[in-house]
Structure 1
Amino acid sequence: MNIQGKTALITGASRGIGRAIALELAQQGAKRLLLVARDADRLAEVAAEIEALGVEAAILPLDLAQIVEVNIAIAQAWRDYGQIHLLVNCAGVAHQAPFLKSQLPDVQQEIAINLMGMYTMTRLVARRMATQREGTIVNVSSLMGKIAAPTMATYSATKFAILGFTQALRGELADYNIRVMALLPSLTDTDMVRDLKWFRWVVPTTSQKVAQALVAGLQKESPEILVGWQSHLAVWCNRIAPWLLEKVLLLAAPLSRYKQKRYHRLREAGVISR
């Protein structure tokens, strides 16, 4: 896909990867960017940066969990700004906790935003793209959508679901000339993850590199876009020796040493299998 002269809608555009994608698309010659997030003030700041690059920007302050409001806003946006050629579902949240200590409100928020928010936006935009018989949809998953990690069970579950959803839509929407792709960043240094306990040995990438990888993937029409050598290595290891990757993830996870030693004792005793 050539983004020049096109209109794109980006969710989660007020910060992090979403903001970086919006700016990168502006630099690549997009005609108009529709920016979606809950924080209107931050969206206005991003819009000002985009307009300074000579690209039109419109802000849509929305909570993706509010289905009726989202439905109305997308209908108005399509009427006011015309066809949306590219949808980038980037909005997401992450909560980190051992599963047995996870809090139900955090779990519900991750599912509501990461999964249901994406589903709602895709449903509304894809129906209109199908009428126009043209469009590209990018769902931002994660490396954790391929490889689940301790302390991130719900987040991983939502990202796995996004990949399944993307794969299903890729086949269904092909007849309407709609391409559906997945972007899988590894750990990215953003506001969202700075309060999390990072995994050992993982070198974070930047939002800008993720955005550049997306643009390159759009040009190649890649069905899945992995970002960074660590992601490629981890996926390769998961295919060849998943038991080894499981061990590495456990050692890298921000769990107490006591829990790690206890895990190894249980494995050696045969209580936990590979």
Structure 2
Amino acid sequence: MAIDFMYALPYLLLWVAFGVSMLTSRRFVGLTFTAVSLAAAVVVGIVEWAGLAVLTLFAGACLAAVRSEFPRAHRTLAWGVVVILTAALATNQVPWIHNVLVLDREFVSASSADFTLYWNYDKGFAGILLYSLCVQPQGNTDWNRAIVATGEIVIPTLVVVLGTATAVGYLAWDPKWPAILGVWVPANLLLTCISEETIFRGILQRQSESFLRGRVPAPALVALLVCAVAFGVVHIAGGTTYVLLSTLAGIGYGAAYYVTGRVEAGILVHFLFNLSHLILFTYPFAA
């Protein structure tokens, strides 16, 4: 399905915001492109004026939460606002944001259940803003080691999760080259993988590890497992099997962050898993 350029522009600008945020430690650069994206979303009608007010409040809370010179009480209040609005935006609960319907009850293959795809601007905006302001900078990284470690985690994650899903009948082997790739890839990578890994690994896992340090043995490992379970639980709408599979996948994504210290590693493992699922198995699940 072709998307009108004017509707695609806000999402394209979010991509630019992510790219520059990953390459520079200067937060204002990513924030600038995110603001331009938001302006474009207002112009084309994706975001109403009331939605603009909500997203502006969210941005202000993110900025306040990371300002170390602010009093602790103010930062705690800001983080509370960030948590509440992140949950609302990630679950599409703000009524003044109109996400773009791209696929409506499409069948990826004859043996798959139907599939609906929205380009969720609210979730994407939240993910990119959190990445730019609350995750970056992530410190120095040995990129050669990080790439090798990420590659070593991808394979067992695919084998364990997709193997379990097939064994319990949730998925079936169904190799194909689906026609929806052109609209699915940018949506899944930007609006699902980047946003979810920023929230669960970049924010929740990192903050949990910091909180648990000195309180429990192996705080990094405990934080990984806690966040994997939380990641599974938020997928409860898909049923208990989906929660189990999402938890197993979350362990793989969390492990990528654990061994590299980079959210991008979790994003890559997450995306390669989702892409393998789409191309090689029934998607989103067996009919």
More strand by percentage? 1
Global fold match (TM > 0.5): no
Higher RCO, Cα 8 Å, sep 6+ = 2
Q: TM-score if structure 1 supplies the norm length?
A: 0.31
Q: TM-score if structure 2 supplies the norm length?
A: 0.30
More helix by percentage? 2
